[in-house]
Structure formats: C-alpha cells, structure tokens
Chains A and B, each alone.
Chain A
Amino acid sequence: MAPEKIDQNRDHGPDSPEDSTTTDKFVFPKWVNLLREGTAVAAIGGLVYVVVLITGVFSPEMSAMGYAPVQPVPYSHALHAGDLGIDCRYCHTAVETTAKATLPPTATCMNCHATIKTESEKLAVVRESAETGRPIPWVRIHDLPDFVYFNHAGHIQSGVGCVSCHGQINRMTVVEQAKPLTMGWCLDCHRDPDPNLRPMDLVTDMTWTPDGDPAVLGAQLRAEHNINPSTDCTTCHR
C-alpha cells in the first residue's frame, strides 16, 4: 500500500494550505480500489449482456416461432387433421405437385359444412365467402421472404414429412409456426437430410417415428431415391 500513500501526498501537494492539518485531510476509502476491477467487470459484463440481449431479441425463436395470429375462422387442425384423421392433402391438394401447399378454396370447406354445422356462428365467414365468391382472408403464418422460392412438391416427393417443418399440426387448435424457417435452419437439413427423410407413403403422417436411428433409415432412403439436396444459392434464390 506504499504507492497509495505517495499518491495522497501528491494529490494535496506540499503547497496545499491543508498540508499541515493532517486531521481533516480527505482520504479515499479503501473500497474505492474496487472501482478499477469493478469497472472492468461492468464493461465485460455489459458487453456480454448487450450481445446476449440482441441475440435473443433478433433470434427466430423470438421473431417468428410461436407466431399464431387470430384467424378469421377459428378452424382447428386438431379437430380436422387430428381427431377426424383427415389427410393433409384432402385440403392442401397441390402440395405434392406444385411449389405451394395451397390453401383450400371455400368450396372444400363446404364439402362438409353444407350439411354439418350449417348454423354455426363460427362458420359465418365461410358461408359468406361461399355466397360472395370472395376468399376467406386467412392470415399467413409461414411466410418466407419474397426472394426465397421454396418448393413443397420437391420436399414431399423426396420424403420430407410435413411435420419436419410445420411441427405437430394435428395437435394445434390454433396453428403456430413451430420451426425457425431461417436460412441456416434450411441449410442444416440440406447438408444432412438423413434424419428428416421417411418413406414416401408416410409424408403426411404426423405421429410416425422410425424404429431405429432416423439417420440410418434416412441414409438408406436417400441412396434408394437418389436424394442430393443442393446448397447452391440458386436452389432457393433466383
């Protein structure tokens, strides 16, 4: 603590009028020494804090996952696809052959609802749409940027199950985005698709899991169907 004493003398200086009156001389308390270490800890800690906070705020889990907007019709996938066991493709007819899964036209709803729950308040918007010919204003949930050209048919025909990207829709009363759908997330699978491949006839099965290691079966299916996902920019961006 010797240097401290020298500092004190210098601070007040030999010319200081208080020099002689040592009793009321101001002495920095010992804890002030903590300021140096404290400042370092605060600076590093603050930086980590800001980085963690920004990463958290701008992560897909924060921004997109769990997005479950209020829809114009309280349609429940848990009832239709879950309890009633209706296949995804009953409504999303174009998913196997085109880029888009396509939302069903109101006519598809009316296949059943022309004779079931015909007076239901919840279906008023559906009946109105059927009468006027104006589409039901569904709110889009899984919305990739407009410069991404995702193709449903290519994935379905390669044996990537609906559940891999959309989660357990058959249990969702209100559909929410279950996966990040970020470019990095897409690339993870394009680089190693094996764990997400399944037999073609089980693509819409929401509850199927392979008996053994999914990667083993996946590797086998991949070789069998010659599946080589591209990681080229132009695969998704054009």
Chain B
Amino acid sequence: MPRPILYVLLVVVAASLVPMGLVYKARHSRKTHPRIQVVYDMDNQYKSKTQTENAFFADGMAMRHSPDGTVAQGQLEADDALYRGQVAGDTLFVETFPVEVTSEMMYRGQERFNIYCAPCHGASGDGNGLVNVRAAALAEGTWTPPTDLRGQTVIDRPVGHIYNTIKNGIRNMPAYGPQIPVSDRWAIVAYVRALQLSRNASIEDVPAEVRASLQK
C-alpha cells in the first residue's frame, strides 16, 4: 500500500477517536449546563408544581398562602393547652402534658430532638452542639451559646413554657414552629424532660439487670 494512503487512513482512525474521547470525558466530569434535549416530549409542561416559579404573582411563587384571617377546615387550633402550651383562657403555661406520654412518643421525641435541637443544644442537651462549637470558634460576637437544657432553669420551667419556646423561639433562639408539627413539639418536650432526669440520675435509678453493663 502506498505510504500516503496509509497515512491518511491512520489519520482518519486517529481522528475518529477524538469524539469518543470527548464523550468519555463528558461522562466522567461535572457539568454546569443542563442536558441538551433534542426531543422535549412532555418533560417540561406548562403547569405549576410544588415550589415552582410563577411570574404571575409578585413574589414569583406558584404556591400561595391562605388569605389572612382564614382558617382551613380542621386547623382551628382552639385548644390552648395543646397548641399554645397555655392554660385555657390564661397566659400561664401548663404544668402537665396535654397529650399522653408514651414510650413510642419518647422515641419519636429523641429522633426529632436529634434532628432539630441537637445541632445547637447537643445530643445530650448540654448546649454544646456542633453548630455551637463552630460558631464559638468563629468568635464573631453575634452568637449567644445555647442554654444547657439539663440545667435548673429549664428543669423549673413548666412543660408549656418549653413547648412555647420550641414553637415561638426565645431570645436568640428562632421559632421552630414552622419546622416541627404540634405532636412532635410535645414529643421533644418529653424527651427534654428525660434528658434532665438522666443528667441527675444515680446508678440506683438504673434497673438492676442492666446496671452491670454501665459499670466497667
């Protein structure tokens, strides 16, 4: 075979590897641009879905709030003790749980506490969660360390007060009402009480059969 033809063939074969290489690279790298859709099908439809944009409204959101002063059916929240942690018709906080405290609720409270409270208050409630550790290390002067939930201040508070704190916040702590539903707030209150008990418990409070596992 004449040399020029051989060279041309080699160049063609080599060049054919370039698109392959580009495809390989694109498959294994990050892309900041969205995928190119040759055929759109019905992938993107002209309808509003959860948390989508809608330029029709001033705030740009497709999802709307209920109009002010309206209450949806079943959302009246008339029970002061349950929804606000207060004695009915009074501003005093309730001293007893308006819901039944069960073991199931306690586990739920532990799980929810670890999600929503532990970042700042710590898994043990000592007020030294990882967010506090970082905020303290930043030393910006704007951060107030979280309260030790096992301290006497919180022990002395009625359960309704702790509930109200979760719902509406207190001092620098923001309101967690929007993130935590009513039943979970009470579950967390119950778990906070359990943390307080465990902090001030002695070995005599531990059932005899599991006591050995704690003493090493």
User: Which residues of A pack against B, CB within 8 Å?
Assistant: 31, 34, 49, 52-53, 56-57, 59, 61-70, 83-87, 89-90, 93, 98-100, 102-103, 105, 107-108, 110-112, 114-118, 133-135, 145-147, 174, 176, 201
- Whether the pair B142, A115 counts as a contact (CB closer than 8 A) is yes
Complex Cα distance A102/B115, Å?
Answer: 16
CB distance from A122 to the nearest CB of B (A): 14
* B interface: dominant SS: loop
Residues of A contacting B30 in the complex (Cβ-Cβ under 8 angstroms): 66-68, 174, 176
- Whether the pair B29, A66 counts as a contact (CB closer than 8 A) is yes
Residues of A contacting B144 in the complex (Cβ-Cβ under 8 angstroms): 115
- Whether the pair B34, A103 counts as a contact (CB closer than 8 A) is no
Residues of A contacting B131 in the complex (Cβ-Cβ under 8 angstroms): 84, 86, 112, 116
Residues of B contacting A103 in the complex (Cβ-Cβ under 8 angstroms): 51
Could you give 26 example pairs across A and B, Cβ below 8 Å? A31-B2, A52-B20, A56-B24, A57-B23, A62-B27, A65-B27, A66-B28, A67-B31, A68-B30, A69-B33, A69-B34, A70-B32, A84-B134, A86-B130, A90-B116, A98-B50, A100-B50, A102-B51, A107-B178, A108-B178, A115-B135, A115-B144, A116-B140, A118-B142, A146-B47, A176-B30
Of B38-46, B69-77, B192-200, which stretch is located at the interface?
Answer: B38-46
Quick one: which of B35, B130, B140 contacts A118, CB cutoff 8 A?
A: B140
Complex Cα distance A114/B36, Å?
Answer: 39
Residues of A contacting B174 in the complex (Cβ-Cβ under 8 angstroms): 107, 110-111, 114
- Whether the pair A59, B59 counts as a contact (CB closer than 8 A) is no
Top 8 A-B residue pairs of the complex, sorted by shortest distance between their CB atoms: A63-B35, A145-B43, A56-B23, A87-B115, A146-B45, A31-B1, A61-B27, A111-B174
- Whether the pair B35, A67 counts as a contact (CB closer than 8 A) is yes
Given A116-B140, A146-B43, does the pair A87, B114 have CB atoms closer than 8 Å? yes
Residues of A contacting B130 in the complex (Cβ-Cβ under 8 angstroms): 83-86
Quick one: which of A89, A102, A115 contacts B172, CB cutoff 8 A?
A: A115
Given A56-B27, A62-B26, A83-B130, does the pair A201, B140 have CB atoms closer than 8 Å? no
* A interface: dominant SS: loop
- Whether the pair B138, A116 counts as a contact (CB closer than 8 A) is yes
With most chain B CB atoms within 10 A of its CB, the pick from A57, A111, A145 is: A111
Q: Give the nearest-CB partner of B1 in chain A.
A: A31
Quick one: which of A56, A64, A117 contacts B20, CB cutoff 8 A?
A: A56
Given A62-B26, A103-B51, A117-B138, does the pair A145, B31 have CB atoms closer than 8 Å? no
- Whether the pair B20, A201 counts as a contact (CB closer than 8 A) is no
Complex Cα distance A102/B50, Å?
Answer: 8
CB distance from B32 to the nearest CB of A (A): 5
- Whether the pair A146, B32 counts as a contact (CB closer than 8 A) is no
Complex Cα distance A100/B63, Å?
Answer: 13
Residues of A contacting B47 in the complex (Cβ-Cβ under 8 angstroms): 146
Given A89-B115, A90-B115, does the pair A135, B140 have CB atoms closer than 8 Å? no
Complex Cα distance A61/B31, Å?
Answer: 11
Quick one: which of A93, A146, A174 contacts B44, CB cutoff 8 A?
A: A146
- Whether the pair A63, B142 counts as a contact (CB closer than 8 A) is no
- B130-183 contacts to A, CB under 8 A, are 130-131, 134-135, 138, 140, 142-144, 172, 174, 176, 178-179
Residues of A contacting B115 in the complex (Cβ-Cβ under 8 angstroms): 87, 89-90
Residues of B contacting A86 in the complex (Cβ-Cβ under 8 angstroms): 119, 130-131
Residues of B contacting A107 in the complex (Cβ-Cβ under 8 angstroms): 174, 178
- Whether the pair A135, B116 counts as a contact (CB closer than 8 A) is no
CB distance from A29 to the nearest CB of B (A): 8
Residues of A contacting B119 in the complex (Cβ-Cβ under 8 angstroms): 84-86, 90
B111 on interface, CB distance cutoff 8 Å: yes
Known: A69-B34, A114-B174. 12 other contacts (CB 8 A): A61-B28, A83-B134, A84-B119, A84-B131, A107-B174, A110-B174, A112-B131, A116-B143, A118-B140, A134-B60, A147-B42, A201-B111
CB distance from A98 to the nearest CB of B (A): 8
Residues of B contacting A85 in the complex (Cβ-Cβ under 8 angstroms): 119, 130
With most chain B CB atoms within 10 A of its CB, the pick from A31, A52, A102, A116 is: A116
- Whether the pair B179, A135 counts as a contact (CB closer than 8 A) is no
